[in-house]
Amino acid sequence: MQFHLVVVRPFGAYAKGVVITDQSVVAEVLAGENAADVVRIVIREG
């Protein structure tokens, strides 16, 4: 199951409410200092 991130506190080029779907960016954000600025969500397709 893949998950995406929703920005809850703006950082870098990301504004509040932006959904990050690129899995390489998801991994980068979660491994960095902005991990506390996002929440994980699951988007079910279909």
Q: Quote the pLDDT of residue 4.
A: 97
Domain spans in the chain, listed from the N-terminal domain onward: 4-34
Beta-sheet strands, E only, within 1-46: 4-7, 19-20, 38-41
Residue 9's Cβ-count burial label (10 Å; 0-12, 13-18, 19+) is: exposed
pLDDT the model gives residue 2: 84
Structure tokens at 42: 């699951």
What are 3-45's pLDDT values in tens digits?
999 999 999 999 999 999 999 999 999 999 999 999 999 988 7
Across 18-42, b (16+ Cβ under 10 Å) vs e yields eebeeeeebeebeeeebeebbeeee
